Amino acid sequence: MYITKKHLPRRTFLRGAGYAIALPLLDAMIPAATALAKTAASPAKPYMGFFYLPHGQIMGSWTPKTEGANYQLSEILEPFAPFKKQLTVISGLGNKPAVSSAVHAITPGTWLSCVPPKRSTSPHGGVTVDQIAAQHIGQDTPLPSLEVATEEKGGSSACDGTYGCSFGNTIAFRTPTSPLPMEYNPRKLFVRLFGEGDNAAERAQIKQDNKSILDMAMSEASTLKSQLGAGDRQKVDSYLDTVRELERRVKTAQNHDMSNVKLPELPSGIPSFDDHLKLNFDMIAIAYQTNLTRIATFMMAAEVSSHVYADLGIQEAFHPLSHHGNNPEKMAKLVKIQRYHTGVFAKFLERLSKTPDGDGSLLDHSIFLYGGNMSNSNLHNHFPLPTAVIGGGCGKLKGGQHVRYKDHTPLANLMVTLLDRAGVPTEGVGNSNGVMTEI
Domain count, the chain: 1
The answer to whether position 229 is within a domain reads: no
Per-residue pLDDT of the chain (439 residues; tens, 9 = 90+): 233 445 667 656 666 555 566 677 777 776 654 554 444 445 679 999 999 999 999 999 999 999 999 999 999 999 999 999 999 999 999 999 999 989 999 999 999 999 999 988 788 899 999 999 999 999 888 889 999 999 988 878 889 888 988 899 999 999 999 999 999 998 888 888 876 654 445 545 554 554 566 676 676 777 777 778 777 787 677 767 767 766 665 665 444 333 333 333 333 468 899 999 999 999 999 999 988 899 999 999 999 999 999 999 999 999 999 999 999 999 999 999 999 999 999 999 999 999 999 899 999 999 999 999 999 999 999 999 999 999 999 999 999 999 999 999 999 999 999 999 999 999 999 999 999 999 9
The answer to whether position 155 is within a domain reads: yes
In whole angstroms, give the CA distance from residue 194 to residue 224: 18
In whole angstroms, give the CA distance from residue 166 to residue 160: 9
Task: Give Cα 20 distance to the centre of its chain.
Answer: 22
The answer to whether position 1 is within a domain reads: no
**CA angle at residue 40 from 35 to 44, to 5 degrees?**
100
CATH number (domain holding residue 142): 3.40.720
The answer to whether position 439 is within a domain reads: yes
Nearest alpha carbon to residue 437 among 416, 417, 408:
417
In whole angstroms, give the CA distance from residue 77 to residue 401: 13
The answer to whether position 199 is within a domain reads: no
Nearest alpha carbon to residue 48 among 434, 415, 431, 437:
415
The answer to whether position 309 is within a domain reads: yes
pTM of the predicted model, to two decimals? 0.80
Q: How many CB atoms lie within 10 A of CB 424?
A: 19
Pair 172, 108: CB distance under 8 Å: no
| Cis peptide bond prior to 384, omega within 30° of 0 | yes
Pair 431, 410: CB distance under 8 Å: yes
Residues 6 or more apart whose Cβ sits within 8 Å of residue 329: none
Q: Which domain, by its residues, includes 135?
A: 46-184+273-439
Nearest alpha carbon to residue 380 among 101, 49, 192:
101
The answer to whether position 8 is within a domain reads: no
Angle between helices 411-421 and 129-137 (to 10 degrees): 10
The answer to whether position 190 is within a domain reads: no
